[in-house]
A and B are shown apart, each in its own frame.
Chain A
Amino acid sequence: MAQQTLDLADKDFAWAYLPEFLDGDLSSGDGARVEKGLGAGDAATNVGQEFQAARGKLQLALQGYYLREDEVMKLHALIQDPEVRVTKEAEKIAASQRRETRGTMMRLSILIAFAAAAIFGVFYVFTPRGAEAFDALEYLGYEALMMDEDPEGRLNLPTTDIREIAKYLDSYPGLEFKPFVLRSMPGAWEPNGAHVIDYEVAKVAVVKYANAELKETLYHFSFAGTMADLPKAQVGKEKGFEYQTYSSDQLNIVAWQSAPDVLSLIVGRRSAPELAGMARLGSQL
């Protein structure tokens, strides 16, 4: 449904409703008014792109302003005794480790069951079969759908603090790569938790993002690999940022090389160009 607008002077209307215009949330009449205010022809498109770039730069510049850990702890102390906080954090970490152990055991059980079935199949038909490679698009597309359908207990670190997520992934034991974290996301997209999936053949770091306004989620997976590991696909390029896009009937996937040995996938229901824009913005830091 088109957004209700306020009666502003022509010179202000276009700029006041520019994001809604760019997102296609205005009625055709209001959209025409914005286009008129920004100029005919390509002028509206150009101003829209300039605004999006400037807004991205503003958000990046603001990312440089954050409170130190001791300053945040000082805020915590307004309501919670520091000793109690330490105890509660220890309990949370212990609970998180228990959940992680349970998750690992469950995955291991599933893998053992699959392995047993595979061995039985091989024995039955007397035909040797090779080990399957890690099919990132299939596995991680499936993980994203499952985490959306049944999110309870799937993330070992349920937090909205991106620094906490970065610290968790950086210090995760046994990862053979340095996970890449998108530190800047546009609009109302906020981090919503993190997890490391252990597939035996590969470990995958996942960061969940949620947008309360859109009531949508998306997932950023990173793991050891290169673009050559993925099937060939349409290559996109925006301001030097190169990526490949894939889609299913429910999800879009944008893949890019976030570090020389790290492959990143951003998976969600937003359009591929929008997902690529988020990846590019988050990769600028």
Chain B
Amino acid sequence: MREITYLEAIREAMLEEMERDESVFVLGEDVGAYGGAFQATKGLYEKFGEARVLDTPIAESCIVGVAIGAALVGYRPIAEMQFADFISCGFDQIVNQAATLRYRTGGRVAVPLVIRAPSGGGVHGGLYHSQNPEAWFVHRPGLKVVAPATPYDAKGLLKASIRDNNPVIYFEHKGLYRRAKGPVSDEDYSVPIGKAEVKREGTDLTLVTYSAMLFPCLAAAETMDKEGVEVEVIDLRSLAPLDWEVVFQSVRKTSKLLIVHEDNRTCGVGAEIAARVAEEAFDDLDGPVMRVTYPDTHHPFSPPLEEFCLPNEEKIVEALRRLAAY
């Protein structure tokens, strides 16, 4: 299988879906001739023209609002947020319109909308270009939320999101755009929303993570393997709906759970997982459910300070050791 980058995988997914289905179109800030801030839409404007690759004003509420309207009349818009940090400007359109329309109309209308949100830190972007706001949307009923880590999953999940008849917030990690490279099939495929994947099997500890944190988690699992501790690494891929079955199955096997995410600690996705495991798999626990997350603070511009805050392999290994020894 050929190897491509995470960014190329995202671009390919959009290109193929636009070729496959005329109702698919892209809109966002500078997504047209410029090809997008990260070049995710590069080449689409030349291929499909300005009618299907729309440059918009710098107004996220407008981008999302237009996309919702288009979705209601039968299009399948892909709205790009230049940074996930600015998604909050379109928040009302997402949580009060996109998320509720199906419910409000008694199921008579669907909102087949994808919002691509480049998220994540570690790129020295400071506090307005580094955020991980996924938990806000996981919390809101009526939205699907995905956060792939590998090029294969990035392409497959974006295709599934475009084909889904519900609003999907697609968090793509900026740090992975060019760093993550991996095998991607030439054939048309999609990765189902709501399905986690065990990226590494193990019997002693369960490590649940998603997005860019997958890689330090896998590295940490490798280190633990040398110390005789087998860590099972679950990549959630989808956060809403979340694949509880895979999480519970693993926890029942290992009896110990560590959750790692780059989002803040308080009320993050890890908090919900810890709570559900405590509720439904309490009898199977052989240690406290632990978390390694970004602390409850902002992203400092200073690289050493950001490094200090971000979860990394070393912090994950430390937590795994503690949990293994418990």
Real binding pair: no
